[in-house]
Structure 1
Amino acid sequence: MNILQINSSARSTGSESTRLADAIVAKLNASGTATVVRRDLAAAPHPVLDEAALQALFTPADARTPDQNARVALDDALIAQAQAADVIVIGAPMYNFGITVQLKSWFDAIARAGVTFKYGATGPVGLLTGKKVYVAVTRGGIHKDAPSDVQLPHLKAFLSFVGLTDVQFVFSEGHGLGAEAVERARLDADQQINAVLV
């Protein structure tokens, strides 16, 4: 089994989403036989999708400059990791009601027409199929099943768009509500992991 772990917190240490992603991977790899690739987007940020990146991506491969080839190669590497994975584990904290810029940059990198999705007669078709995805969602407040949760629809929509439809979410909420709330959130999240990874 090949496991790809994506840590998208801006924190390189002390991140609850990373703690939970680590716990999920540890349960998945209890036998120690899996190949685990970890990508920490705080320690090694992926460049944002800017004008230069767009120009590189939309320039035919045989007409790209060396700089353009280098930029496209960065995205190619992330796509290859996602394609090779049997299981993808994502640590996804909520920042200002959305996903982090780190995770958005990863999403932008792996979404490529003709490679991870295509447009068919009835609309887009995801090509990253046959993979299990676990997403550790952490929040400072309580947003699950509330109108304020605009993060979860974004995550579901993007993952489905590229073909990742077998998705299990683990929630840890209330981290801005004091020490007791944090302890409850961590305990609840750990119980969720134990329930979905028996």
Structure 2
Amino acid sequence: MTVSNTKKALVVTSSILGNQGQSRALAEHFKASAAKRGNLQITERDLVAMDLPHLTGDELASWQVAPESRSPAQRELVARSDALIEELLVHDVLVLAVPLYNLGIPSQLKAWFDRILRAGKTFRYTAAGPQGLVEGKRAVILAARGGQYAGTEMDSQTPHLKSMLGLIGISEVELVFAEGLAMGGEHREQALSEARQAIDAVIDRL
């Protein structure tokens, strides 16, 4: 195996529980399994440690200003989004380790998406609707939930994530669920074991 034949995976975590979070445990298993197989080069982006702030009107406005006309403050704001987009673009696979908070995604992950879903950079508006500009990427969602929501109307998280990824052109998305983690020890261990097996199978397909 050579590095040139190795795909690059960006693993994005957003659990406020740090190493105690179950979504983080899924991410760690993904990394360990990939290391054993040797087919993925991993970069990890911990959004909680990064302490990415919520998007503001000033930051949004800075994107609309021509580069040569930006103030130093605007250039700094634009650089934050540009760096996150560039990090995404240099990887082949995006892995989102996502806990379920009040039926939605963590605000830290939303703040990340707010910087990478950028008109003119990662998608554009056309007469036929939005067109994604991020090509040739795959995504894996590692979803950890205390209850069981997959396939029900209460799972508003998964469609939201797939829609945001689709907006920028990432339509090939694999889902791994670890559900019912708050429903007792036996159920929890079985769910995590099945999720780990699913992760291994996903990595074999990448």
The two structures have a TM-score, normalised by structure 1, of 0.93
Q: Give the counterpart of 2:178 among 169, 172, 176.
A: 172
The answer to whether the aligner puts 1:127 opposite 2:109 as a matched pair is no
Query: Whole-Å Cα distance in 2 between the matches of residues 134 and 34 of structure 1?
Result: 13
Q: Which residue of structure 1 aligns with residue 16 of structure 2? A: 10
Verify the 8 A CA contact 2:19 2:25 in the aligned structure 1.
Answer: no
When the two chains are superposed, the root-mean-square deviation of aligned CA atoms in Å is 1.6
Q: Which residue of structure 1 aligns with residue 3 of structure 2? A: none
The answer to whether the aligner puts 1:137 opposite 2:138 as a matched pair is no
Identify the range of structure 1 (136-145 vs 62-71) with the bigger mean alpha-carbon deviation.
62-71
The answer to whether the aligner puts 1:116 opposite 2:122 as a matched pair is yes
The answer to whether the aligner puts 1:54 opposite 2:56 as a matched pair is no
The answer to whether the aligner puts 1:103 opposite 2:109 as a matched pair is yes
Verify the 8 A CA contact 2:99 2:145 in the aligned structure 1.
Answer: yes
More helix by share: 2
1:157-192: CA deviation from partner (whole Å, max 9, x where unpaired): 111111111110100111222222221221121121
| Percent of aligned pairs sharing the same letter | 39
Q: Which stretches in structure 1 are left out of the alignment for 5+ residues?
A: none
Shift of 1:29: 4.0
Q: Which residue of structure 2 aligns with residue 85 of structure 1? A: 91
Q: Which residue of structure 2 aligns with residue 191 of structure 1? A: 197
Secondary structure in 2 matching 1:13: helix
Verify the 8 A CA contact 2:24 2:97 in the aligned structure 1.
Answer: yes
Query: Whole-Å Cα distance in 1 between the matches of residues 63 and 165 of structure 2?
Result: 21
Identify the range of structure 1 (60-69 vs 148-157) with the bigger mean alpha-carbon deviation.
60-69
Query: Whole-Å Cα distance in 2 between the matches of residues 181 and 68 of structure 1?
Result: 50
Equivalent positions of 1:28-43 (< 5 A) are: 28-32=34-38, 34-43=40-49
Verify the 8 A CA contact 1:128 1:162 in the aligned structure 2.
Answer: yes
AA aligned opposite 2:92: D
Query: Whole-Å Cα distance in 2 between the matches of residues 50 and 11 of structure 1?
Result: 26
Matched pairs, number:
198
Query: Whole-Å Cα distance in 1 between the matches of residues 131 and 153 of structure 2?
Result: 28
The two structures have a TM-score, normalised by structure 2, of 0.90
Secondary structure in 2 matching 1:197: helix
Say if 1:194 and 1:31 are closer, same or farther in 2 by CA, change over 3 A. closer
AA aligned opposite 1:73: A
1:132-156: CA deviation from partner (whole Å, max 9, x where unpaired): 2111011111101111111111011
The answer to whether the aligner puts 1:19 opposite 2:25 as a matched pair is yes
Q: Which residue of structure 2 aligns with residue 153 of structure 1? A: 159
Query: Whole-Å Cα distance in 1 between the matches of residues 147 and 193 of structure 2?
Result: 16
